[in-house]
A = this chain, B = another copy of it.
Amino acid sequence: MLDVNAARKDFPILKREMAGGRPLVYLDNSATTQKPQQVIDAMSSYYRTSNSNVHRSAHTLAEEATIGFEESREKIRNWFGAGESRVVFTSGTTEAINLVAQSWAKVNLNEGDVVVLTEMEHHADIVPWQMLTSEIGVELRWVPFDLETFELDMGAYEVAVQGASLVGAVHTSNVLGVRNPVEQMVELAHQAGAKVLIDAAQAAPHDRIGFDSLGADFLALSAHKMGGPTGIGVLLINEVAFQQMQPFMGGGDMIREVHFDYSTYQENEHRFEAGTPRIAEAIGWGAAIDWLAKWNVESIHEHGLELARFTADSLRSIPGMRVFGRQADGDGAVVSFLHDTMHANDLAVMLDAQGFAVRTGHHCAQPLLRRFDIAATNRASFWLYNTLEEASAFVEATRDICQRYS
């Protein structure tokens, strides 16, 4: 069992008082999680004692910064089971996916080549591919999902991957919480000769991902959604795919030699990390992983799912309320909902006035929402520090607001 109260103690923001002296109930974890004090301290301490630019220098601070930075890379490699793969730092999931589009797809695909996406994708896994359709003429194929069960149409998927070059698929939907059958999707894609990019932004905080054993070719995620700082994320890359990539951005750190008329590049991960890296961010992320390692990831998952199930079931009992998602085993701790007559923004503002932070809007997944013929939902999302009491207070506040004002 997860010791939620022990975990809460590490998050200073949870002590914050909101309007009217009400406690903060933070239910916007899918957008970004809060940070434990240990992460904040790791970054402060880096800046207070070892701050320096990394790589290629002979002074002590530079050594310490380089070691801290590269150790974080190894922590991330280990945490995500990518021991045989490459770990390239990016500014987040979005840049990681753009890196696949620009460094792998643009180099290896041709006009008419097919990229398969699901209708559940986040904009981060849509727009880079649309840009590529105009740049090199790849074609997009969309795999639908069922509007009742919220499940991906695996029959359609199996057809779509035939002759495709790449699949881009969200591991766990940030709107529906649905966890897709990624293992099966990787297998079917590979049978069809397509590479697979998994968007694990939402899976990272709740699941133990084994990149090498999953066998996907690329996997993208962000630190800020798993207790780490803003401004950093990662692309995990299978070795074969890594060798097929060409540099994305040029500059310092990614080069071997620069001449007036040509340059040669590093052959390891640095090849894709141009410029001064996100040193403090990497170190903060490493501390987040150390902190997470103190808890049991399976019980974080179970805890989140329990809260999500309770919330979804309770919200369904509010007249006029529609809940999007199934909260099945393995799903994310996310509940999207929308009231028939209560405007989503009004509900959010009224909840906020009582200390409840939920996200409201299209959640960067407009195509998904449009399939339901809606433009926005409210969304409550949980992490390991949320309690059943919070979920229950949130449901009651929502029920009350909808009763009184809808």
A interface residues with partner B (beta carbon < 8 Å):
12-13, 16, 18-19, 24, 26, 28, 31-32, 34-35, 37, 39-40, 43-44, 47-53, 56-62, 91-95, 97-98, 101, 119, 122-124, 126-131, 140, 142, 222, 224, 229-232, 247, 249-255, 257-260, 262-263, 274-281, 345, 348-349, 351-352, 356-361, 364, 366-367, 370
Contacts and interface: CB of A to CB of B under 8 A. Distances in A.
B32 A51 contact: yes
A337 to B, nearest CB: 15
A319 B93 CA distance: 54
B260 A357 contact: no
Given A51-B35, A263-B126, A57 B360 contact: yes
A127 B255 contact: yes
Contact of A131 (B43, B48, B247, B357): B247
**Closest CB pairs A-B (n = 5):** A94-B275, A127-B250, A94-B251, A31-B53, A124-B251
27 contacts: A13-B51, A28-B61, A31-B52, A31-B62, A32-B51, A34-B51, A37-B48, A43-B44, A52-B357, A58-B360, A59-B348, A60-B357, A61-B357, A91-B91, A92-B275, A98-B249, A98-B251, A123-B255, A123-B258, A124-B275, A126-B250, A127-B250, A127-B258, A127-B274, A224-B276, A230-B280, A253-B364
Given A140-B260, A231-B279, A253-B364, 8 more contacts: A13-B50, A28-B53, A32-B53, A35-B47, A91-B275, A98-B250, A127-B263, A222-B276
